[in-house]
Amino acid sequence: MALLEQAAGQGHAYAMYAMGIIHGVRGEYEQAVKWHTKGAEAGLPRAMFNLGTLLEEGEGVAAPDCPAAAGWYRRAADAGDTAAAVNLCSMYTVGRGGVC
């Protein structure tokens, strides 16, 4: 994992995403949020989707943040991530686009 972490630290978006996945699987949600945020900010749609999911569920953050989750889902959907489009539609369908 040292090489992956090194690559992520050097700004490689897929490495950042992979670090987010690893930490999420381990239940280390704060670290998962950190790495998915970095990957999302680097423009990787799947990291945007995963960050949205963590924010919506309130994992790795103080409380669920549906407005932020919806924003990341929208960015991911705009970049072609269909799962993000489905989650965004679901949030708005049940009235959770602004408040969890």
pLDDT of the chain along its 100 residues, tens only? 899 999 999 999 999 999 999 999 999 999 999 999 999 999 999 999 999 999 999 999 999 999 999 999 999 999 999 999 999 999 988 887 666 6
pLDDT for res 96:
72
pLDDT for res 63:
96
Considering the domain delimited by 2-93, tell me its CATH architecture.
Alpha Horseshoe (1.25)
For the entire predicted model, the pTM comes to: 0.93
Instruction: Find the helix packing angle between 82-93 and 45-57, rounded to 10°.
Output: 30
pLDDT for res 95:
80
Q: Is the Cα torsion angle 65, 71, 74, 75 positive or negative in sign?
A: negative
Tokens standing for residue 14? 């897929």
Question: 100 CB contacts (<8 Å, ≥6 apart)?
Answer: 56, 58, 63, 64, 65, 66, 69
pLDDT for res 97:
66
Tokens standing for residue 7? 């690559």
Distance CA 54, CA 17 (A): 13
